[in-house]
Structure 1
Amino acid sequence: MGHRKYSAPRRGSIAFRPRARAKSLEARVRTWPQLAGEKNALLGFAGFKVGSIHVLTIDDREKTPNFGKQLLNAATVIATPPVKIIGVRAYKTDIYGQHAVFDVYAKDLPKELARRVEIKQAEDAMSKAEGKVAQASSVMAIAAVSPSAVGIPQKKPFVFELAVSGKDVKAQFEYVKGILGKELKASDIFQLGQNVDVFGITRGKGIEGPVTRFGVKRKQHKSRKSVRAVGTLGPISPAVVMYTVARQGQHGFHQRTEYNKRILLMTNTDKDGINPKGGFKHFGLVTGDYIVVRGSIPGVPKRLVKMRHPIRNLPKKVLEPKVLEVVVE
């Protein structure tokens, strides 16, 4: 080992530990932004990943060398069927964290919902909830989206929580109460040209070694016994392998967040011609509402992705992108 240097840069970010399989196919949104203004609105939405296309736009980023010129953007299509608001939940916060104060569900819920949750509530549940709103510190909307709405053969819907903007808890409750049992579209929550944060579960790749999993260097061909292994696991004493050492293990199928993905297209018709001949690979034809965001997003086609209003680098104004052409492979 005399030919090797005594130190090397560490490989692989510790920020992504533990690199274990995600517990669920549904990503969790742990933090929600606070929108400016007193208007109450939902802060997130959900859809299903479709595939990739290219969108030709005019670069509207000022103070860049490409400003005003044509820009070919790699983009991702997300099918966004309407989301049904099925309930409202209030939380109170103490030194031990958040605790649910009450749940109230809408009447005449879809039959498929019974495959996911069993709902039993009293007839006067809403009136009781109105008396407990003063105890709450935040209000969340309980939403459901059905994969069958975009042609995915899964009857069981996804149920998740969406935060509500505004600091007045009573106003948040009244807003969710007003949309209870209704269906909302992506255009009711997001606007064309704004940025969104995308949450998803990445493509699983199974068990991989340290070269693929962490990017450590291969040893030279004359190395002893192994080439695609770490040079050393640590000192002889103490006889402990630190958790920072690159080892083999699960690669992929992790929850990841992509920040500030700009919405290039948002429509409910195929006037832009985003469907390739024969449909998207592993998905098919997009016939309903969809969003096209700039760049890539985590996951495989048909997998649920969640979106929220951006939490970083909020822009002062939202500009609609100047789309020239949609290039479908």
Structure 2
Amino acid sequence: MASIHRPKRGSLAFSPRKRAKSHIPRFRAWPEATGEPKLQSFAGYKVGMTHVIMVDDVKNSLTQGMEISVPVTVIETPAIRVAAIRAYAEDSAGEKAVAEVWAADLDPELKRRIPVPAADNMAENLENIGKMIEEGKVSDIKAVTYTLPKSLTGVPKKIPDIMESGISARDLSTKFEYAKSILGTLLSVTDVFKTGTLVDTAAITTGKGTQGPVKRWGIQLMKNKHSRQGSLRQIGTLGPWHPDHVSWRVPQMGQMGYHQRTEFNKRILKIGSDGEEVTPEGGFLNYGLVRGDYVLIKGSVPGPSKRLIRLRDPIRAKKADLGEPNILHISRESKQG
């Protein structure tokens, strides 16, 4: 007898499955502030994957205290520059930017991305934001940062990627003072994250173009007589006559991939500055050599090599801080087969 249990193929959670607007992923929420003031996010470029041999330090694990092989993603993280401070005010329509201050002497490559605002009245604008904070007209302070891919040999571009980052601090005044101290400066990944901590990753996935419903939604192939009539990889019906339109819930062909995806609680296994420690023989496929700062993330990360990856303080941190892992070996075997 046939089973009457048949879950829906695919998921409607990510609909509409269309291409992302930008290759730069967005964070729409930020975790609550803890500890000393700092930026809550950083950015890097995906290099590839390898594996490490480490001591399992997960409590109550079946392999606790034993040597295990763990897949890791290598992300090259050149320094980022803080370009501006942005003040937000909240009203009935939500948060809106009410003031911003841009730093002077920014990198000339930034002009390739946006028309850089003049920094003639920087001191005056900073004073105005300070007054607005005292008057209670500001609800949040955020930082505008950009990457410097010109220092990377594996990423063939010079145009920076601009993004906005939250600031972790006890109150608005502390946020503002910290933002002023880093305005126009370069920050490295060690200024934001530490080895062993958890982060959230966001990236745009690998684009796969137009795909049929079998690959895109995971529907079953037609069987028996239906398959012999030329309808092997199609759905059985587009829906009823009435309502007289095709529902968006019907699994059809269309765009697959190049969507933004956020993954939570990824562990940083290592932060290093010598790329030779992780570069395999012959370099990484479709990337080349790692020459500067890098981060090893446990597990996989969305997107192809060279794709911009954003890292954020964990917004749903449930695991205890495991501390720095004991890495015994990093595989540098050739990835070229």
For Structure 1 versus Structure 2, the TM-score category normalised by the shorter chain is: over 0.9
Q: For 1:195, which of 188, 193, 198 is the aligned residue?
A: 198
Work out whether 1:326 is the aligned partner of 2:330.
yes
Unaligned runs of 5+ in 2: none
The match for 1:8 is: 6
Equivalence for 2:104: 107
**Contact 1:195 / 1:262 at 8 angstroms: preserved in 2?**
yes
Partner of 1:310, secondary structure, is coil
How does the TM-score come out when normalised to structure 1? 0.94
CA distance in 1: counterparts of 2:106 and 2:239, whole angstroms? 58
1:236 is matched with 241
242, 255, 263: which one aligns with 1:250: 255
Query: 1:122-170 CA deviation, whole Å, 9 max, x = no partner?
Result: 4232222322233110000111111112122312111111100124111
CA drift at 1:117: 2.0
Once the 2 structures are TM-superposed, how far is the Cα of residue 5 of structure 1 from its aligned partner?
A: 7.5
- Aligned residue in 2 for 1:206: 209
Equivalent residue, structure 2, for 1:18: 16
Aligned pair partner of 1:282 in 286, 307, 321: 286
Specify the code of the residue in structure 2 equivalent to 1:264: L
TM-score, length basis structure 2: 0.92
Residues 261/317 of structure 1: CA separation in 2 closer, same or farther (3 Å cut):
closer
1:208-227 correspondence to structure 2 within 5 Å: 208-223=211-226, 224-227=229-232
Aligned with residue 45 of structure 1, among 24, 27, 42: 42
Shift of 1:80: 0.2
Instruction: Provide the rounded CA distance (Å) in 2 between the counterparts of 1:49 and 1:103.
Output: 31
- Superposition pairs of residues 67-146 of structure 1, within 5 angstroms: 67-118=64-115, 119-123=117-121, 124-134=124-134, 135-146=137-148
CA distance in 2, matches of 1:317, 1:50: 26
1:210 deviates by 0.7
Unaligned runs of 5+ in 1: none
Tell me which amino acid in the other structure corresponds to 1:17.
S
Judging changes above 3 Å, is the alpha-carbon distance between structure 1 residues 133 and 318 closer, same or farther for their aligned structure 2 residues? farther
In 2, are the aligned partners of 1:46 and 1:145 still within 8 Å (CA)? Answer: yes
CA contact (8 A) 1:192 1:320 kept: yes
Of 22, 26, 29, which aligns to 1:28? 26
Seq. identity, %: 40
Provide the rounded CA distance (Å) in 1 between the counterparts of 2:140 and 2:45: 28
CA contact (8 A) 2:58 2:322 kept: no
**Which aligned runs of 4 or more in structure 1 are off by greater than 6 angstroms?**
3-7
Query: Aligned with 1:196: secondary structure?
Result: strand
Q: Name the Cα RMSD after superposition.
A: 1.8
- The C-alpha deviation readout for 1:172-191, integer Å capped at 9, x for no partner, is 01101011111111111111
Residue 303 of structure 1 and its aligned partner are, at CA, apart by 1.1
| Stretch moving more, 65-74 or 238-247 | 238-247
One-letter amino acid of the structure 1 residue matched with residue 243 of structure 2 = P
Contact 1:90 1:133 in 2 (8 A): no
User: Map of 1:282-301 to 2, 5 A cutoff?
Assistant: 282-301=286-305
Q: Distance in 2 between matches of 1:147 and 1:110?
A: 12
- Write the letter of the residue equivalent to 1:140: K
Amino acid corresponding to residue 18 of structure 2 in structure 1? A
